[in-house]
Amino acid sequence: GQQVMQIPQYQHVQEGEDFTTYCNSSTTLSNIQWYKQRPGGHPVFLIQLVKSGEVKKQKRLTFQFGEAKKNSSLHITATQTTDVGTYFCATARQLTFGSGTQLTVLP
Amino acid sequence: NAGVTQTPKFQVLKTGQSMTLQCAQDMNHEYMSWYRQDPGMGLRLIHYSVGAGITDQGEVPNGYNVSRSTTEDFPLRLLSAAPSQTSVYFCASRQQGSNQPQHFGDGTRLSIL
């Protein structure tokens, strides 16, 4: 089945620093979704990207979809302690999730 | 709106026991899925259903059965529990269409001794 690789697996940042997680696929994706899971919680949908080269922003979060639709990234500017959690990318069609990036923000 | 409801929230089983994890959604979603989450391995798809009466295997189906007799319910059965099945199990649902977001339940934390 279609797989997505996500890096890094873990990231520790100081509050106020930026953070980026990357999602890569060996095949072209029809779309990609991003989810956030707080510690002890369940995944919550953040956003979906569909178009080649698409960029979407949600406050301090910037989501990008690559031109070839094989990779995507999530960038958080000036992290806050509320950003703590695991961020997953997912291929909607295949119901497949990346392994996630666990973000720790040190105050 | 309750969304996706999973029961129980916690369960401890002995090796060899069987049990059913319940999942119900009240959003009239066609698609329902079961995932297991283990440390460092993300969410792995166990089984999924695209509608009542239709189920299919995901990435890690062995040791699990599912059925979908109604749109609302999608139970997951462990036939003979093994310690390797210790995990957090999430049920999710979404509307038909690959551009629809998935809605997750709160999860069932299962330990097999």
Left (φ > 0), alpha (ψ -120 to 50) or beta: where does B70 sit?
Answer: beta
State the nearest Cα–Cα gap between B99 and chain A, in angstroms: 6
Residue in B40, B99, B104 nearest the CB of A92: B99
Structure token pair of residue A69: 């639709």
State the nearest Cα–Cα gap between B96 and chain A, in angstroms: 10
* Predicted local distance difference test score (pLDDT) of residue B73: 98
Contact B9, B108 (CB under 8 A): yes
CA A86 to chain centre: 9
- Three-state SS at A82: helix
Residue B86: pLDDT band with limits 50, 70, 90 = very high
pLDDT in tens, B8-62: 999 999 999 999 999 999 999 999 999 999 987 789 999 999 999 999 999 999 9
pLDDT in tens, A40-82: 999 999 999 999 999 999 999 999 999 999 999 999 999 999 9
Measured CA to CA, the distance from residue B55 to residue B110 in angstroms comes to 23
3-class SS shares of chain B: helix, strand, coil, % to 5: 5, 50, 45
- The phi and psi torsions of B83 (rounded to 5 degrees) equal -55, -30
Cα pseudo-dihedral B5, A35, A52, A78, rounded to 10: 150
Q: Do B33 and A95 touch (CB under 8 A)?
A: yes
* Predicted local distance difference test score (pLDDT) of residue B39: 81
Judged by a CB distance cut-off of 8 A, whether residue A2 touches chain B is no
